[in-house]
Amino acid sequence: MPIKEVHGKDFDNEIRHKEKVLVCFFAKWCSICSTLFPTLENISNDVEGKIEFVKVDIDENPQLVERFNIVSVPSLLLMEKGNVTKKLVNSELKEKILAQLF
């Protein structure tokens, strides 16, 4: 399932009332981000209905980069009802991401 891209003002509406959302901050020029997307899409299919996945382009959304103190890409944030509950690190492999989600 493709990961929905969200922008600025739509971000809060997209995540505020959701039980769990994994937010991927990325950049179009980031090669690691490009290789990560198929893995995230695969995981989103595996956990469909439990966690929603969205992505945010850092170059188009500097206010969100500042708000969440994003210093590198890709950066993955697990959010519950609009609040960051976990920042996933060293997460390029499916198994590592899944282990940090639950």
30 is catalytic: yes
Task: Please answer whether residues 40 and 78 qualify as being in contact, where contact means their C-beta atoms are separated by less than 8 angstroms.
Answer: no
Which 3 state secondary structure label does DSSP give 59? coil
Write the CA distances from 32 to 2, 27, 73, 83, integer angstroms: 17, 9, 8, 26
In the set 21, 27, 33, 78, the catalytic residue is 33
In the set 30, 80, 88, 100, the catalytic residue is 30
Q: State the catalytic residues.
A: 30, 33
